[in-house]
Structure 1
Amino acid sequence: MHCAIFFAFKTLAIVVNLRMTDLDLKLGFFKGNLYRETKETQTHSFSLAKLLLFSRISCRGGLQMPDLHLHTHYSDGEYSPAEIVAAASQKGLALIAITDHDTIGGVPEAIAAGMSCGVKVISGIEFSVDLSNGKGNGKAKHLLGYSFEPEHPFIAQKAQWSRDQRVVRNQKIVERLRAHGMIITRDELLQFAKKELIGRPHFAQLMVAKGYVQDAAEAFDRYLGKGQPCYVDRERLPAEKAITAIREAGGYPVWAHPMHNETDTAKVAAEVADLKSMGLAGLEVYYPEHDPQQTAFLLELCLKHQLFATAGSDYHSDKMKGHLKIEMGRGWNNQPLPNHLELPFA
């Protein structure tokens, strides 16, 4: 019924003003239905653009059951690629992407595991990029790459460069910790983390294990967090170079969680326009931290800039992430991620 209503509006170049009681219909899309939230009587304006975009995403394409933002122990996740795929299969997910930070090491294992249990796995990666393109204004973002040729040299080169910058940053953190009386070596970190890709959470965990702090929160609050004495930023790929590498490898660059820790919609809109001019293909619209209003805003940007919308949980483990418990295949308010998405690689 919803589809028929929305397709009827396709021929109308108007703005529809709807007065609703009890139900405030929003453009968040879960389980193939409109997201509904009980609310006091209000007047709402829905533009034709919103209606058309909703119909395009929810009424076309097949059942996908996707989660396109998953991490394994190749970066900062807890589980192996095969374990992630097995869990995805148990949850009924049919399309997933392994998007480890700055590495595609887990992709071959995940693809092989997916073939054995009926889960389609596409190649993925998550780059940390600099939106300022070397101008130094601190616009650090995360860029997802999908469905590229895993062995393409551009991807391998950019991933290796990014990992090298982590090593440089980590050595500086080691030196700053030593200056504060905490002796931690890179070898200790590698042995403790049991992985090559080391991040600040691994420093925090080792600091707890060695008795320097009581918990990881204290490690970040006193030493490792931004603005604290042992915090060291790292050089990131210029966004345009990362986008070009993904495109050259036959893939699709997507901006990850655009509204994460962000409330300025005008700023996000301007950044989407910048990234689109560089070759951005999509936005991660459906995400655990994107509320229905933010989701609707991002959908409008997708329509305006002819971008596709993706859905991802950013699952790392079963542990709490701040105040949230992130579950595979789940988005805002622990609702299932949308099961109808028009994706170029599905």
Structure 2
Amino acid sequence: MHCAIFFAFKTLAIVVNLRMTDLDLKLGFFKGNLYRETKETQTHSFSLAKLLLFSRISCRGGLQMPDLHLHTHYSDGEYSPAEIVAAASQKGLALIAITDHDTIGGVPEAIAAGKSCGVKVISGIEFSVDLSNGKGNGKAKHLLGYSFEPEHPFIAQKAQWSRDQRVVRNQKIAERLRAHGMIITRDELLQFAKKELIGRPHFAQLMVAKGYVQDAAEAFDRYLGKGQPCYVDRERLPAEKAITAIREAGGYPVWAHPMHNETDTAKVAAEVADLKSMGLAGLEVYYPEHDPQQTAFLLELCLKHQLFATAGSDYHSDKMKGHLKIEMGRGWNNQPLPNHLELPFA
């Protein structure tokens, strides 16, 4: 069954104040996204005409449960692409993307597995990019690419370049660890990385296994975290080059978790405007670390810049991520990710 409810209002803005108490639902509409916020007490003002003019709720014969930010052991995830797809199927997810860091190695396996169990898998990648000149000057961001041609040379070239920079960085990290009395070799790291893409989490796991630290948290707090003695930054793709590569390959570039470790909304708004001018197509709005206020703010930016909103858990494994327990298909406060998203590739 396919049904759609369209809303259209005259240009006269109607400002409505909503007062919400225990367990009240606020329904917010943006270009096909239905999101719900639960809060004890909250007052909101918004232009009803402006929001609903572009709004739509679509029903396509059932819930379209998405998770567009998943990692496998091809980068820093714990499970294989086939295992991720199987878990997605068990959780009732209908649309997923494998978004490993700087590699599409797991995409073919995931797509094949999805066909066998009724889960739609689109091609994905997560590039580490720099908003300025790619020299790692503090403006490092993550850029997701969706629904591109996996064999396109632009994607392969940019992914290989990014992996090469990781190799250079890893060699420098190993040298610094050695200076602190910790011997780490590439062969040892590959026992934890499973595939050839090695990241700092793999260093931390090996440091724990060799008894250099008690746990991964200590590895990052004392050695590997930003500002610590063994931290090494790396050269990243300029954001514009990554966006261009994704576009040239027929895909859609999306800024991942824009509010991650960020509270300055003016800064985020300016960065969204910059990225939009480079060809950005969407924002990852629904995310475990985005609270209801941040989610609403990002939806406003989507409306302002004509971007689409996506949803992703950033699932890597069943282990805790700091104070958060990340689960596939879940977002803020462990609530299900929204099941109605108007996406160009859905």
**TM-score of the pair, normalised by structure 2:** 0.91
- Preserved contact between residue 208 and residue 215 of structure 2 (Cα < 8 Å): yes
User: What is the CA–CA distance in structure 2 between the aligned matches of 1:226 and 1:207, rounded to whole Å?
Assistant: 17
d(CA) in 2 for partners of 1:38, 1:295: 12
The answer to which of 7-16 and 267-276 deviates more is: 7-16
SS of the equivalent of 1:4 reads: strand
2:113, 2:4 → 1: CA distance?
A: 40
Q: 2: distance between equivalents of 1:219 and 1:275?
A: 34
Q: TM-score, normalised by structure 1?
A: 0.91
Shift, 1:102, TM fit: 0.4
Deviation (angstroms), 1:35: 6.0
Distance 2:242 2:137 in 1: 18
| Contact kept in structure 1, 2:6 and 2:57, CA below 8 Å | no
Identify the structure with the greater helix proportion. 1
Structure 1 unaligned residues grouped into runs of 5+: none
**1:29, 1:58 within 8 Å by CA — same for their partners in 2?**
no
1:261–1:57 distance in 2 versus 1, CA, 3 Å: farther
Contact persistence 2:29–2:51 (CA under 8 A): no
> CA deviation digits over 1:22-57, x for unaligned, max 9?
566545689999766666666431123663278346
Shift of 1:11: 5.2
Per-residue Cα deviation, 1:217-258 (whole angstroms, up to 9, x for no partner): 111111111111100011100000000000000000000000
2:38 is paired with a residue whose SS is strand
Q: 1:119 to 1:3 in 2, by over 3 A?
A: closer
Q: Highest relative contact order (Cα 8 Å, sep 6+), 1 or 2?
A: 1
CA contact (8 A) 1:53 1:300 kept: no
Structure 2: any 5+ residue segments left out of the alignment?
A: none
Whether the aligned pair in 1 keeps the contact of 2:260 and 2:290 (CA below 8 Å) is: yes
Whether the aligned pair in 2 keeps the contact of 1:288 and 1:333 (CA below 8 Å) is: yes
Change (3 A) 1:41 1:113: closer
| Aligned-residue offset at 1:194 | 2.3
Q: Is the 8 A contact 2:110 2:121 kept in 1?
A: yes
Q: Does structure 1 conserve the Cα–Cα contact (< 8 Å) formed by 2:72 and 2:78?
A: yes
Offset at residue 90 of structure 1 (A): 1.0
Q: CA 1:8–1:331 in 2, change beyond 3 Å: closer, same or farther?
A: same
Query: C-alpha deviations, 1:266-306, integer Å up to 9, x for none?
Result: 00000000000000000000111111111111011001000
Residues matched between the structures, number: 346
Change over 3 Å in CA distance of 1:305–1:27 after alignment to 2:
farther
How far apart are 1:320 and its partner, in Å? 1.0
C-alpha contact (below 8 Å) 1:313/1:327 kept by paired residues: yes
Instruction: State the distance in 1 between where 2:289 and 2:109 align.
Output: 29
1:141 alignment partner, SS class: strand
Structure 1 residues 133, 31: closer, same or farther in 2, change over 3 A? closer
Superposition deviation, residue 64 in structure 1: 2.1
CA contact (8 A) 1:146 1:251 kept: yes
